[in-house]
Amino acid sequence: MKQTLKKLVETFGPSGHEQAVRDVINSLVSECADEIRTDALGNLIVRKKGSGKKVMLAAHMDEIGLIVSYIDKNGFARINPVGGVRTLYEVCGRVLFENGTVGVIGMEKMGGSSQAPPIEKLFVDVAASSPETCPVRVGDVGCFLQPMVQTGGHLTAKAMDDRVGCAILIEVIRKLKVSPYDLYFVFSAQEEVGTRGAVTSAFGIRPDVGIAVDVTLTGDTPEPQVKMAVSLDKGPAIKVKDSGMLATPWVKDWMIDTAESGKIPYQLEVLLGGTTDARAIQTSRAGVPVGCLSVPCRYVHSPSETVSYADVRHTVKLLAALLSSPVHPRLA
């Protein structure tokens, strides 16, 4: 599973440019699926047929990135964000563009300010001296360049948000032999710019229940920016609430009961800012009951997002148990 995750996080795939990630996932699940299709927005939908109610599982393929807005007279690429880019994390990092060009993110003088620079103060150095010699052009999209490394039981890379969720769904697809549900595994597009892929896929699938798998913040580092009761190495976080969604109580309780009966460690998550594909599923058509399993992640939306491999494995175990256990009374 580590090799699957390494391949996923190191693949190019900013929002709207998920093709390479989609191809990797397709190759990994094609032998285990009953149906695979790609919809108009670019979501990869993998079905494992069943005779029961429809359960939609969603993890997004896209990652945050940058888009070239103009090239200045000295050949430096000026940029705008694609998704929730945090400029303080990006200065002096490296960017990989879709055409293979690699650049370094630089910053203009800030007059002694210690605050995070606005995006207008950043540029990408691609070793050009003029617009004519610049190897990228307006509209080109880039992602952060950072290989996956392991330190103890923790894994660090760019795009853990949410390739770790994709890796979890891939592992469940491989492991799950029988389920009492009709399962739709959606590897969604454009989540980082407004959960757009989950909007269209949920509309088309018409699920009876939805479960998103994504990352969440932690409160376990010194003086964390957000205080919350989630830590690495303590199991997946079962979401209660975020800024866009209140988990359906019976779905949340279903997750808790399954974790406790299987002796799987878990945490409860209340996230003050941010949301997931679960929000889009929940508000689709006339409404869908939803829950979300979150992988605790330090340094979210940076080139060094960090997760616990034990938490990842426990998330797989919990999700597989949910989908293979007897039919929940609400879905009978």
* Residues designated as active site: 191
β-strands 305-308, 290-296 pairing: unpaired
Tokens of 276: 């997931």
Which residues have CB under 8 Å from 173's CB, separation 6+?
29, 32, 33, 46, 48, 185
CB 138 within 8 A of CB 97: no
CB 238 within 8 A of CB 268: yes
Which residues have CB under 8 Å from 3's CB, separation 6+?
none
Helix axis angle for 309-324 and 160-175, nearest 10°, is 40
Question: Tokens 């207008």 label which residue?
Answer: 120
Q: Give one DSSP letter per residue of 101-122, joined into a string.
A: -EEEEEE---TT--SPPPGGGE
Q: Which helix (H) or strand (E) holds 46?
A: strand 44-48
CA distance 59 to 244: 17
- Three-class DSSP category at 260: helix
Across the beta sheet with 54-60, what order do the strands follow?
Answer: 35-38, 44-48, 182-188, 54-60, 209-216, 290-296, 237-241, 267-270
